[in-house]
Chains A and B, each alone.
Chain A
Amino acid sequence: MITLARADRSLVARWWWSVDRWTLAAILLLALIGALLGMAASPAVAERIGVAPFHFVHRQLAYLPLAVAVLIGTSLLSADGVRRVALAGFGVGLVLLAATPIVGDEIKGATRWLSLGGLTIQPSEFVKPTFAVVAAWLFAGQRWDPAFPGNVVAIALLALVVGLLARQPDVGMATMVTVVWCAQFFLAGLALGWLVLCALGGVGLLGLGYVLLPHVSDRIDQFLDPSSGDTYQSDVAMMAIEQGGFFGRGPGQGQVKDILPDAHADYIFAVAAEEFGSLACLLIIVLFAFVTLRAFARASGDRSLFGLLAVTGLATQFGLQALINMAVNVRLLPPKGMTLPFVSYGGSSLLALALGMGMLLALTRRRYDGGAEP
């Protein structure tokens, strides 16, 4: 074990002593759990779609070191570094997002993916965390100097991002981005009246989605009345959780992975419940809650508004995505294709999450100036 002296002023040493090692450990543990569950769940899916049994496992394991590198690399950044990376990433992401409908691949009725030399990426995954940081900077800038048109620019950017996402269409991602943005705006001092208006607007948009997009209305109808249509995946997921009991059927003994098309992705939580039991699920919940709430706690000690808003945005994104995914698995929410961060299969999503959490780690590093604005 390499020991680093506290007096060591090297970059690595400074990082090691200032980074939130507990959060880092929790994230790495989630990624490890994800790799394990992927091994359990994805061979069944791979077999079903006719690729080599460990196709998904291999891909995920190839992405994992890359993701860890991105995570740690990003966490080495200073607050300014994070801001710059986010701005650059957001800019590139926006361009790719705009390009997706033109050059992207259509999968299951939506065009969300771009092929970049054998690598398929989902630009929206990268827009999501970088936009949170950019929005934080814009809101903070407005507070710092009322003459800086941060709010207006943030609103314009949100409209742009949501517009691009709706074009794919990706209602879930658009909703997520909007919710996180609203949360940040709220923290940045948005008057409560506006917040209520914002919430109403959100409900209105959802209603619009319900009316205009058939798959959205289907899902909500089915959630409200399970007998009205296809609740197959959530039914099976519920049965799996019930079957698993507290200690699970044992690794590899699960059956849902054989029948759930999305066992390795959106319904990985159900696989975990069936094979490893509810206690394992509780561990996963605790890990997500830990990472989210600890980020909030660290951020509240931050004296810089930007850091506070950025961390809150990133943590909200991370925690909300995890919550929604798990809530869908236990049928507390209508089915929504949202992955479980770090646990579900998905290379591009893994890298984007690593980037986001890397930024979160960077911004929650202990700073001697308490993170005060310069």
Chain B
Amino acid sequence: MTSTSPAMRLSLSLEAAGRPRVNVEGEVKRAVELARRRMAFAAVLFAFSFIVLAGRIAEIALLGGADAPVGAREAAEHTVGRADIVDRNGALIATNLPTASLYADPRAVIDVDETARALAGALPGLDVDHLRRKLASPRSFVWLERGLAPAQQAGVHALGLPGIAFVDEERRVYPQGSLLAHVLGYTDIDNQGIAGVEKTLDETLRRQAIDGKGPLALSLDVCAQAILREELARSVETFRALGATGLILDPTNGEVLALASLPDFDPNQPVSEATDEQRFNRATLGVYEMGSIFKVFTTAMALDYGVVGLADGFDATSPIRVARYTINDTHPKARWLSVPEVFIYSSNIGSAKMGAAVGAERQRAFLDRVGLLDPLTLELPEVGQPMEPGTWGELTTMTVAFGHGVAVTPIQTAAAFAALVNGGTLIHPTLLKRAPGPVPGKRVVDKTTSDVMRALLRLVVVDGTGKGANVPGYSVGGKTGTAEKASARGYRRDALLSSFIAAFPMDAPRFVVLVTLDEPKGTEETFGYATGGWTAAPTVRRIIERLAPLYGLAPVAHEPIEDEMAVTFGGTSTLASLSAP
């Protein structure tokens, strides 16, 4: 009882008013007791709260209880994992590089002007006014720049600007540059496939990345692709062509080993910089009248239907006049031609008559059977719809027989061609690597028809229009095709689509090679000719010269196909004996 506070003095003075002191003390004691009990309650409440807090800390540290910020969540939706793509031998052709993308939460930006200036200083590609507008927007998330290089990211990071943050992203990279541009396609800035295999197999690639299944293997071979693209480019330059397309196909299982379309683009660069022409895939999206290459189908169908035999022939002495059209020969012999002669000299007149002999209905049925009248589904979104005449009359039958009137894509031409040389089975082409072993297909012609076709195709290269494609020791067989390009005012004599389709080795073809040049111009070496035999055939030859050794094929002194031809053509492999009487 040493201190006497004002309150106590007050209470003491009130006490003097007559209240017994002991009662007050007792009451105070009870009050203290009550306070103690209630305090215990408050203390428990506090202890509980502190424990909850500690638990929450542990939860976040252990389980990462934090939701990503709205901005980052939004950004994460843009980023999807994508599996790598490799060629048939495992060479990397599409992969991802980690990059950082810069975004802002404008509401967290403290000083818009200063932030915009600082960012523009660190990233010279950005415009200050544009940035300012973005940073002043009322949204919670705006992209500022995508795909920053590490040095750029470090530069921006060092600015320490509030409201500015990065999202780790992946950028699709194509190590082979433009080599496989039309096969691979490309992705948009959010890594969504928007063309080529990247688009068709978008789901697969993402699922494979999630499942950790490793890369997706294509059927393509970068070496074969490099050969094809290089030789096409060389011919485009030599013949001053507008463009070119080509493909290499395995006729035994439908695997596409190479597929190129020129001009092409670099999918690593913004695709918006490429022209429409560059982005156009001629091999699968473009439809063309393939010209004399169709005579392969005409001959095969005539033989397969039994309409003609090898000993039969057609009168090609004079042009055919149907309605107001005249069908002429490019290499006129002006005489009776046997079926093999019609084929190897590429006689339009003979083929037209052969087609007419088969008839419109059966012709259409056959072309349909080998898949030339429907779009060919492929692991690419860029697939062209073939065009056929509305009415399929006699004239149509004749023109289609030598390759005018029906427009098809190069890849379906190659697939149908493959069926005629592989024993008669149509196999759906694919860009994906197939497991070894037989591949189911659809029988479209008899094996004997296929055997005869192989012999005839070989003969074209030995003695006919396709000599330019011959590679000694490799039994190359093939067929030229030269189509006049159609324009609004009819066919243009000066604008050609020159092609050559080949297979080798002809006794058991392992490769089908198709080359098509768009508007090649003749050179001195070709004596001004720009036809398939003079332009596309030598291109095919050079491709085969480089491709065959790559696949371990050695040239042989005695080509087995010659024996087959001797049997097929009745004891001789020379043309003389095949001439019509």
Asked if B70 contacts A227 (CB within 8 A), the reply is yes
Q: How far is the CA of A373 from the CA of B69 in the complex (A)?
A: 56
Q: Does B4 contact A (CB under 8 A)?
A: yes
Residue of B nearest to A315 (CB): B46
The digit string for A316-344, where 1 denotes a CB below 8 A from any CB of B, is 10010001001100111000000000000
Asked if A232 contacts B57 (CB within 8 A), the reply is no
Number of interface residues of A (CB under 8 A): 75
Q: Does B165 contact A (CB under 8 A)?
A: yes
Asked if B70 contacts A259 (CB within 8 A), the reply is no
B322 to chain A, nearest CB (A): 73
Q: What chain A residues lie within 8 Å of B39 (beta carbons)?
A: 187, 296, 299-300, 308, 312
A107 to chain B, nearest CB (A): 15
A180 to chain B, nearest CB (A): 11
Q: How far is the CA of A246 from the CA of B107 in the complex (A)?
A: 31
Asked if B35 contacts A309 (CB within 8 A), the reply is yes
Q: How far is the CA of A305 from the CA of B14 in the complex (A)?
A: 18
Among A79, A144, A239, A281, chain B packs the most CB atoms within 10 A around the CB of A144
B31 to chain A, nearest CB (A): 4
Q: How far is the CA of A332 from the CA of B53 in the complex (A)?
A: 8
Q: Does A200 contact B (CB under 8 A)?
A: no
Asked if A292 contacts B46 (CB within 8 A), the reply is yes
Asked if A144 contacts B60 (CB within 8 A), the reply is no
Asked if B61 contacts A374 (CB within 8 A), the reply is no
Q: Does B3 contact A (CB under 8 A)?
A: yes
Q: How far is the CA of A332 from the CA of B162 in the complex (A)?
A: 24
Q: Does B163 contact A (CB under 8 A)?
A: yes
Q: Does A25 contact B (CB under 8 A)?
A: no
Residue of B nearest to A145 (CB): B11
Asked if A332 contacts B105 (CB within 8 A), the reply is no
Residue of A nearest to B111 (CB): A48
Q: Which of B495-553 contact A (CB under 8 A)?
A: none
Q: Which of B62-79 contact A (CB under 8 A)?
A: 64-70
Q: Does B277 contact A (CB under 8 A)?
A: no
Asked if B7 contacts A137 (CB within 8 A), the reply is yes
Asked if B70 contacts A332 (CB within 8 A), the reply is no
Q: Does B52 contact A (CB under 8 A)?
A: yes
Q: Does A209 contact B (CB under 8 A)?
A: no
Q: Does A80 contact B (CB under 8 A)?
A: yes
Asked if A323 contacts B43 (CB within 8 A), the reply is no
Asked if A242 contacts B60 (CB within 8 A), the reply is yes
Q: What chain A residues lie within 8 Å of B110 (beta carbons)?
A: 48, 261
**Dominant secondary structure of chain A at its interface with chain B:** helix
From known contacts A187-B35, A226-B70, infer whether A48 and B160 are also in contact, taking CB-CB under 8 Å: yes
Residue of B nearest to A47 (CB): B160
Q: How far is the CA of A71 from the CA of B73 in the complex (A)?
A: 47
From known contacts A297-B43, A312-B39, A323-B53, infer whether A258 and B160 are also in contact, taking CB-CB under 8 Å: yes
Q: What chain B residues lie within 8 Å of A303 (beta carbons)?
A: 32
Q: How far is the CA of A332 from the CA of B7 in the complex (A)?
A: 42
Q: Does B129 contact A (CB under 8 A)?
A: no
Asked if B57 contacts A330 (CB within 8 A), the reply is yes
The digit string for A142-165, where 1 denotes a CB below 8 A from any CB of B, is 011101100000000000000000
Q: What chain B residues lie within 8 Å of A242 (beta carbons)?
A: 60-61, 64-66
Residue of A nearest to B35 (CB): A187
Asked if B36 contacts A300 (CB within 8 A), the reply is yes
Q: Does B278 contact A (CB under 8 A)?
A: no
Q: How far is the CA of A241 from the CA of B27 in the complex (A)?
A: 51
From known contacts A44-B160, A79-B3, A148-B10, infer whether A226 and B67 are also in contact, taking CB-CB under 8 Å: yes
Residue of A nearest to B34 (CB): A189
B560 to chain A, nearest CB (A): 71
Q: How far is the CA of A140 from the CA of B164 in the complex (A)?
A: 55
Q: Does A83 contact B (CB under 8 A)?
A: yes
Q: Does A97 contact B (CB under 8 A)?
A: no
Q: Does B130 contact A (CB under 8 A)?
A: no
From known contacts A188-B35, A235-B70, infer whether A278 and B53 are also in contact, taking CB-CB under 8 Å: no
Asked if B69 contacts A293 (CB within 8 A), the reply is no
Asked if A323 contacts B10 (CB within 8 A), the reply is no
Q: How far is the CA of A277 from the CA of B161 in the complex (A)?
A: 24
Q: How far is the CA of A278 from the CA of B209 in the complex (A)?
A: 34
Q: Which of B1-34 contact A (CB under 8 A)?
A: 1-8, 10-11, 14-15, 17, 19, 24, 27-28, 31-32, 34
Q: Does A273 contact B (CB under 8 A)?
A: yes
B77 to chain A, nearest CB (A): 13
Asked if A278 contacts B57 (CB within 8 A), the reply is yes
Q: What chain A residues lie within 8 Å of B163 (beta carbons)?
A: 232, 259
Q: Which of A199-236 contact B (CB under 8 A)?
A: 226-227, 229-233, 235-236
From known contacts A241-B61, A303-B32, infer whether A232 and B108 are also in contact, taking CB-CB under 8 Å: yes
Asked if A308 contacts B24 (CB within 8 A), the reply is no
- A230 touches which one: B47, B65, B67, B107 (CB < 8 A)? B107
Q: Which of B231-260 contact A (CB under 8 A)?
A: none
Q: What chain B residues lie within 8 Å of A17 (beta carbons)?
A: none
- A239 touches which one: B35, B68, B161 (CB < 8 A)? B68
Q: Which of B150-177 contact A (CB under 8 A)?
A: 160-165
Asked if A232 contacts B7 (CB within 8 A), the reply is no
Q: Does B334 contact A (CB under 8 A)?
A: no
B413 to chain A, nearest CB (A): 55
B301 to chain A, nearest CB (A): 66
A18 to chain B, nearest CB (A): 14
Q: Does B149 contact A (CB under 8 A)?
A: no
The digit string for B310-328, where 1 denotes a CB below 8 A from any CB of A, is 0000000000000000000
Q: Does A282 contact B (CB under 8 A)?
A: yes
Q: Does B568 contact A (CB under 8 A)?
A: no
Residue of A nearest to B158 (CB): A258
A268 to chain B, nearest CB (A): 15
Q: Does B491 contact A (CB under 8 A)?
A: no
Q: How far is the CA of A309 from the CA of B31 in the complex (A)?
A: 11
Q: Does B95 contact A (CB under 8 A)?
A: no
Q: How far is the CA of A259 from the CA of B165 in the complex (A)?
A: 9
Q: Which of A342-359 contact B (CB under 8 A)?
A: none
Asked if A245 contacts B61 (CB within 8 A), the reply is yes
Q: Does A289 contact B (CB under 8 A)?
A: yes
Q: How far is the CA of A27 from the CA of B277 in the complex (A)?
A: 76
Q: What chain B residues lie within 8 Å of A44 (beta carbons)?
A: 160
Asked if B47 contacts A289 (CB within 8 A), the reply is yes
Asked if B64 contacts A232 (CB within 8 A), the reply is no
Asked if A323 contacts B49 (CB within 8 A), the reply is yes
Asked if A143 contacts B28 (CB within 8 A), the reply is yes
Asked if A308 contacts B32 (CB within 8 A), the reply is yes
Q: How far is the CA of A292 from the CA of B140 in the complex (A)?
A: 40
Asked if B53 contacts A241 (CB within 8 A), the reply is no
Q: What chain A residues lie within 8 Å of B365 (beta carbons)?
A: none
Among B14, B50, B57, chain A packs the most CB atoms within 10 A around the CB of B57
Asked if A145 contacts B68 (CB within 8 A), the reply is no
Q: How far is the CA of A241 from the CA of B580 in the complex (A)?
A: 92
Q: How far is the CA of A145 from the CA of B46 in the complex (A)?
A: 31
B141 to chain A, nearest CB (A): 11
B10 to chain A, nearest CB (A): 6
Q: What chain A residues lie within 8 Å of B70 (beta carbons)?
A: 226-227, 231, 235
Q: Which of B82-107 contact A (CB under 8 A)?
A: 105, 107
Q: What chain B residues lie within 8 Å of A147 (beta carbons)?
A: 14, 17
A136 to chain B, nearest CB (A): 10
Apart from A259-B165, A323-B50: 10 A-B pairs, beta carbons within 8 A: A140-B7, A188-B31, A235-B70, A242-B61, A246-B61, A259-B164, A293-B43, A312-B42, A332-B52, A374-B1
Interface residues of B (CB under 8 A from A): 1-8, 10-11, 14-15, 17, 19, 24, 27-28, 31-32, 34-36, 38-40, 42-43, 46-47, 49-50, 52-54, 56-58, 60-61, 64-70, 105, 107-108, 110, 140, 160-165
A to B CB contacts below 8 Å, 28 in the list: A144-B8, A145-B19, A147-B17, A187-B39, A189-B31, A229-B107, A230-B140, A231-B70, A233-B108, A235-B67, A238-B65, A238-B67, A242-B60, A242-B65, A245-B61, A258-B160, A261-B110, A285-B54, A285-B57, A288-B50, A292-B46, A293-B46, A302-B32, A304-B32, A312-B39, A326-B53, A327-B56, A330-B56
Which 4 pairs between the two chains have the least Cβ-Cβ distance? A238-B66, A235-B69, A278-B61, A289-B50
